[in-house]
Amino acid sequence: MTPRPHTAVIGLGAMGLPMATHLAAHLPVTAYDISAPRLAQLTEAGGTTAPTPADAARHADLVLLAVRDQQQVDNALFGEHGAAETLRPGTTVILTSTVGPDAARTTAARLAEHGVLTVDAPVSGGPVRAGSGDLLIVVGAEDKALALARPVLDLLASTLTVVGPRPGDGQSLKAINQLLAGVHIAAAAEAIALARGLGLDPATVVESLRHGAAGSFMFADRGPRMVETYENETAPEVKSRLDIFVKDMGIVTGIAKDAHVPVPLASAAQQLYLLGERAGLAAHDDSSVVTLLSPKSAASPAQKGEGR
């Protein structure tokens, strides 16, 4: 493979588009997505586009999947006009989506029937870091597949951890990452809801605590967006949809059950995200989950002169 492998990117969502635009500055990139505006953004960044996943993958050395869930993985690869129709033997598919260990292994087995290698490489870090090649990527792959995928992975990752030799190994570590991330967002929501209930200014609380021992990346990142939810009439920009954590916490609790490991905090966080989905917040930023605990219109006992 050349040092600048022709790379197909399937899925130009919150993570896929910045990854694709970053890659397009260094490699030939062809992408597929259902969104015409996102395809146009990639074209402006120097990439080319294709009308189907099969067309995007036709001449690719590497195919990077950046879709939401396993159903979209199956559609992109094996559905009508899926990439598997045109993938050449020896091509490597890089699975960056969070789908769970079993799903990654099943996908790898199906691709192997076509002579295609799989690199299980779920990513973490958010859209801004995706656009600057500053992602955390955890990998499960055999040595040959990993070596072929390195030109792309090294451009996208500031931290690359090889977990094990099998597809699914990366997904296992990503599930632990999502356990922590999901619990931390839920904890941040509880903290800000309590601050409002006590009549404190949430912005002051966030700014004070984000730098101390109680802080976390998620508190520092989502806290200001939770404050924005209360300060503005319009909802914050969607950087990470709430239903992503419905999916991911479902993966966490599912594999924990299979491993007979209790995860009470993850289970509680999962229920909070499910409540958010039921309340119509699925497509909102995940920081909006705070409004379940402290509705925008709610007045605190302190504000009412009560409880003192």
How do residues 180-220 score in pLDDT, each as one tens digit? 999 999 999 999 999 999 999 999 999 999 999 999 999 99
Question: How would you label 88-107 residue by residue, b for 16+ Cβ within 10 Å and e otherwise?
Answer: eeebbbbbbbbbbbebbbbb
Give the model's pLDDT for residue 226: 97
* Residue 305 pLDDT > 70: no
* Dihedrals phi, psi of 125, to nearest 5 degrees: 140, -20
Can you name the residues that pair with 31 across neighbouring β-strands?
Answer: 9, 49
Q: What is the pLDDT of residues 100-155, one digit of tens each?
A: 999 999 999 999 999 999 999 999 998 999 999 999 999 999 999 999 999 999 99
Task: Give dist(CA 205, CA 243) in Å, integer.
Answer: 27
The pLDDT-based confidence of 304 (bands split at 50, 70, 90) is low
Tallying the residues shown for the chain, one arrives at 308
Give the model's pLDDT for residue 162: 97
Lowest mean pLDDT among 34-43, 55-64, 282-291, 292-301: 292-301
Give the chain's radius of gyration (CA, Å): 21
Give the model's pLDDT for residue 300: 58
Which helix (H) or strand (E) element contains residue 70? helix 70-78
- Residue with the bigger pLDDT between 301 and 212: it is 212
CATH number among 2.60.40.10, 3.30.565.10, 3.40.50.300, 1.10.1040.10, domain 172-293: 1.10.1040.10
The pLDDT-based confidence of 168 (bands split at 50, 70, 90) is very high
Class level of CATH domain 7-166: alpha beta
* Dihedrals phi, psi of 211, to nearest 5 degrees: -95, -5
The answer to whether the beta carbons of residues 277 and 308 sit under 8 Å apart is: no
- Scanning 79-201, the segments in alpha helix (DSSP H) are 101-112, 127-130, 143-156, 169-197
Give the model's pLDDT for residue 235: 82
The pLDDT-based confidence of 233 (bands split at 50, 70, 90) is confident
* Dihedrals phi, psi of 160, to nearest 5 degrees: -120, 115
Give the rounded percent of residues in the chain with a pLDDT score beyond 70. 96
Distance, CA of 213 to chain centre: 26
Task: Give dist(CA 94, CA 146) in Å, integer.
Answer: 9
Tracing tokens 């996908």 back to the chain, one arrives at 107
Q: How far lies 263's CA from each of 86, 188, 250, in Å?
A: 42, 19, 12
Does residue 262 sit in helix, strand or coil? coil
| Over residues 168-185, mean pLDDT | 97
Give the model's pLDDT for residue 294: 97
Give the model's pLDDT for residue 308: 45
Q: What is the pLDDT of residues 243-275, one digit of tens each?
A: 999 999 999 999 999 999 999 999 999 999 999
Catalytic center residues? 174
In the predicted model, what is the mean pLDDT of the chain?
95
Of 95, 128, 135, which is closest to residue 111 (Cα–Cα)? 95
- Domain ranges within the chain, ordered by starting residue: 7-166, 172-293
* Residue 301 pLDDT > 70: no
- Judged on CB neighbours under 10 Å (0-12, 13-18, 19+), 49 is buried
